[in-house]
Structure 1
Amino acid sequence: MLKTFKSHINEIFTSELPADPIIENNRRQVEEACFSFVTPQQTKKPELIHVSPEMLKQLGITEAESQSEEFLKVFTGNQVLQGTKPYAMCYGGHQFGNWAGQLGDGRAINLTEIEYKKQHWALQLKGAGPTPYSRTADGLAVLRSSVREYLCSEAMFHLGVPTTRALSLAVTGDQVLRDVMYNGNPEYEKGAVVCRVAPSFLRFGSFEIFAAREDVKTLRTLTDYTIKHFYPELGPPSKNTHLAFFKAVSERTLKLIIDWQRVGFVHGVMNTDNLSILGLTIDYGPYGWLEGFDFGWTPNTTDRQHKRYRYGNQPNIGLWNLYQLANALFPLIEDVESLQAVLDDYKTNFESQSLQMMRSKLGLFEADESDLQLIQDLEDALHSAEIDMTLFFRNLSKFEKGKPSNGLQLINEAFYNSAAITSELEAVWKRWFKRYAERLQKESESDVERALKMNRVNPKYVLRNYMAQLAIDDAEQGDYALVDELFNLLKNPYDEQPEYQKWFAKRPEWARNKVGCSMLSCSS
């Protein structure tokens, strides 16, 4: 079984980068190495919950093979493919603005890499046991966090947001002790494993660790490896190439964050070890989707006080993290002015790209100097009362430029409390819709054409936390039907899908402060 998959194994990471010479799986500082070989932990009674048909196809695995005993064992960590050597990656990172030193794959083990149909894929198990980077942790994951990662990574892909992918989700049959809210009340939960997939799982912290240790040799080796395989258009190694590499990473990071802002996604823990060097969404922990439109919202309980990773601050944190990457790459570039120019471009490009993104959400496709003020006034109005971001923008596509008086009626269901619509607020919205209608008169598209375009950038369905929690609650009882329903719903987030209309709704009131439905911890 897995015949085609095995024939395309191509382990470039372990063959081209320096390995940790110590093979014992004990917690330690790993020096002058990009990874450590480690074998996944055997589980008591593995059972597959769900497999992504799209990723099976991407990896050259047939549906029949996915139902085999070998598939189950390999992708739950209970069998190592012949000719492969699983490993955990070494990296460091800044966590909540502070240098944390060595971090590494403490809960993830890379199985292998393949080359299939001119695409390179690394496959990684999250929750497969301890590694040298686990510190005091057990290296395991629970069903709760695994369902969230599995569903969200695939949902993000279909939203058009750069992301790691997910192949499979399984329970292990083991019990894992977790303190879900970090309040001193740990409980046992069902253990689980997700197989996640990406061209590479390298992150900013992969480069920071070697710069911090003044290990320029390994830093150079890793940088040249990354350019060779993932940015080959930049050319052979040189200072100019390394600078171009930093610029390319900066541009991808900005694009990623603009996409997050567009769909209302909040990562929740944008530490430098959680930012992909390829500009992918990586490490789905305490993420969330905006319910009420709020620049100050964060889903992370650890971030509750300072709100460093709040929705409105994500672009700034992207820039802050790029400063740390610039510092890490400086020994290879040695040109402060050129690095600063790239960072300055990020600031300028964010302003222009953010404006363009908001124009597309509003159906404004022919730029006008009045647009910035129109958008700022809209954001002020959205903050004036709790209004659902997804419902608001999706319903706005129904607006007819000849009927500005109907605007408030179109968005009425997006308000969480209709009683909050005072006469003063109603006047604010009526003025805004009047100006919006006037602005749309400058557009050449008809109302129908504009609606089609708006509905391609404003999703109807996103993975709200309460939806994921409902699937988790059922899965804890051994019922995986809702996992499958949400998985299929989120494949077509921009389509009407009337059969799933019940999911086009505001967060229910019972979920406002419920654990898992509002704020979450990093506990996995």
Structure 2
Amino acid sequence: MHYLGIPTSRAASLVVSDDDVWRDQFYNGNIKKERGAIVLRLAKSWFRIGSLEILAHSGELDLLRRLLDFIIQEHFPSIAMNDSNRYLEFFSTVMSETANLISLWMSVGFAHGVCNTDNFSLLSITIDYGPFGFMESYDPNFVPNTSDDERRYKIGNQASVGLFNLSKLLQALKPLLDPRQKQLASQILEGYGEHYYSRFTELFKTKLGLLGEKENDNYLIAFLLKIMEDTKADFTMTFRELSEITADQLKELHIPEEFWALQDLGKHKLFSEWVTMYLLRLKSNNNDSDAKRRTRMATVNPRYILRNWMAESAVQKANLNDFSEVQLLEQVLQHPFQRQEAAERAGYSLRPPAWAKHLKVSCSS
């Protein structure tokens, strides 16, 4: 995630034990022995919405105020501690940064898996990696977590869950706010949707190489996502291949065989209509060229992400004391936007294998 440009905690070490542990990975009664391992993660802070929520719920308001002041002083230097509206400023910052973080998740097809208030950082960084996953075929209903039967945290719900969590943060802050501040805080929360969709649109325009603003940009993005959903086109490689294909090839609807995701997309009856709209929009880019467009897009559309099948393959080898693929993934994912021969040989940009189609993870994965 760090190398994708997304705020995140970092993995400092991975220690694998020779001792086995009993695990029921999918909570279905199939307990088996597996090697134990510990990941050490680092972050500027591990305070999360739940850190404040629990104090407000238990009525520990003095401790709530002291903790909140500490968090602001340590991690929000732009907020003056003598400002009577500092809690409003804090809430406004967390609101906008949370909207930004979830927009970034969506721009790379990342589903966190368990988006409760205790897993949402007050610093708006990605924490508590558990049953997460990168979406392969574009599907707003994608759920990486095998235990999320109700699809509460499906990828298409992440923005609305973010709003819910922020409403819980506001509820925790209200005992520290006067009536006027409470009203202003509610207005701040109402602006979440606009913040999110503005940032989402900005990111996807960048992914498509669009410069400036045009009236139909939102429609162009939504149109593409709809035909991607209909054709189950691969999310990552569709945008990556749009970064690599030339405008002339698109105009002629000549999709080379290597662009397998675009070939899937091209099966849609409305694909040619979208291409016509897209090429017309690209012509409105000022001081641009097709070469510049492709170079620009290749810096924001990754060629490699951590797909579940890649992680599973590395885990299976590691269980046999072969850490070669763990090391390969570490190397490849540090440069996700650059074509790498080792990654190509490993098939990391090819169509995912059939056996990986239904892979899911759990909190015990």
TM-score range, shorter chain: over 0.9
Q: Aligned residue for 1:519?
A: 360
Q: Which amino acid in the other structure matches residue 520 of structure 1?
A: V
Q: Aligned residue for 1:46?
A: none
Q: Aligned residue for 2:160?
A: 316
- Pair 506,237 (structure 1): closer, same or farther in 2 beyond 3 Å: farther
Match of 1:398 among 244, 247, 250: 244
Structure 1 SS opposite 2:231: coil
Q: Aligned residue for 2:32?
A: 187
2:4 is the alignment partner of 1:162: no
Please say if residues 289 and 462 of structure 1, whose CA atoms lie closer than 8 Å, have aligned partners that are also in contact. Answer: yes
Give 1:421 deviation, angstroms.
6.4
Match of 2:322 among 471, 479, 493: 479
Please say if residues 402 and 437 of structure 1, whose CA atoms lie closer than 8 Å, have aligned partners that are also in contact. Answer: no
Match of 2:276 among 413, 434, 445: 434
Segments of 4+ moved more than 6 angstroms: none
TM-score, scaled to structure 2: 0.94
Offset from partner CA, 1:157-190 (integer Å, 9 cap, x none): 0110000001111023332221111011222221
Aligned counterparts of 2:109 and 2:200: Cα–Cα separation in 1: 13
Structure 1 SS opposite 2:85: helix
Aligned counterparts of 1:415 and 1:364: Cα–Cα separation in 2: 19
2:76 is the alignment partner of 1:231: yes
Match of 1:413 among 260, 283, 287: 260
- Pair 446,434 (structure 1): closer, same or farther in 2 beyond 3 Å: same
Give 1:405 deviation, angstroms.
3.4
Please say if residues 391 and 504 of structure 1, whose CA atoms lie closer than 8 Å, have aligned partners that are also in contact. Answer: yes
Give 1:228 deviation, angstroms.
0.8
Larger radius of gyration: 1
Unaligned runs of 5+ in 2: none
TM-score, scaled to structure 1: 0.66
Q: Which amino acid in the other structure matches residue 186 of structure 2?
A: Q
Offset from partner CA, 1:50-104 (integer Å, 9 cap, x none): xxxxxxxxxxxxxxxxxxxxxxxxxxxxxxxxxxxxxxxxxxxxxxxxxxxxxxx
Q: Which amino acid in the other structure matches residue 210 of structure 2?
A: L
Q: Which amino acid in the other structure matches residue 443 of structure 1?
A: N
Q: Is the strand fraction higher in 1 or 2?
A: 1
Q: Is the helix fraction higher in 1 or 2?
A: 2
2:302 is the alignment partner of 1:459: yes
2:46 is the alignment partner of 1:205: no
- The alignment of Structure 1 onto Structure 2 pairs a total of residues equal to 359
- Pair 395,406 (structure 1): closer, same or farther in 2 beyond 3 Å: farther
Give 1:506 deviation, angstroms.
2.3
Give 1:401 deviation, angstroms.
3.4
Please say if residues 255 and 262 of structure 2, whose CA atoms lie closer than 8 Å, have aligned partners that are also in contact. Answer: no
Aligned counterparts of 1:412 and 1:495: Cα–Cα separation in 2: 16
Match of 2:355 among 503, 510, 516: 510
Aligned counterparts of 1:324 and 1:261: Cα–Cα separation in 2: 22
Where in structure 2 are the equivalents of 1:89-238 lying within 5 Å?
156-238=1-83
Q: Aligned residue for 1:273?
A: 118
Q: Which amino acid in the other structure matches residue 100 of structure 2?
A: K
Offset from partner CA, 1:252-307 (integer Å, 9 cap, x none): 21111111011111101101111111111001101001110111111011213x21
Q: Aligned residue for 2:141?
A: 296
Q: Which amino acid in the other structure matches residue 318 of structure 2?
A: A
Please say if residues 239 and 333 of structure 1, whose CA atoms lie closer than 8 Å, have aligned partners that are also in contact. Answer: no
Aligned counterparts of 1:276 and 1:421: Cα–Cα separation in 2: 40
2:185 is the alignment partner of 1:339: yes
Offset from partner CA, 1:398-420 (integer Å, 9 cap, x none): 3433454344615850169x5x9
Aligned counterparts of 1:290 and 1:397: Cα–Cα separation in 2: 19
Q: Which amino acid in the other structure matches residue 328 of structure 2?
A: E
Aligned counterparts of 2:303 and 2:183: Cα–Cα separation in 1: 44
Aligned counterparts of 1:216 and 1:232: Cα–Cα separation in 2: 23
2:151 is the alignment partner of 1:307: yes
Give 1:500 deviation, angstroms.
1.7
Sequence identity (%): 38
Using the TM superposition, name which of 373-382 and 482-491 deviates more.
373-382
Q: Which amino acid in the other structure matches residue 372 of structure 1?
A: N
Where in structure 2 are the equivalents of 1:234-253 lying within 5 Å?
234-253=79-98
Structure 1 SS opposite 2:86: helix
Give 1:200 deviation, angstroms.
0.8
Which structure has the higher relative contact order (CA within 8 Å, separation 6+)? Answer: 2
- Pair 237,407 (structure 1): closer, same or farther in 2 beyond 3 Å: farther
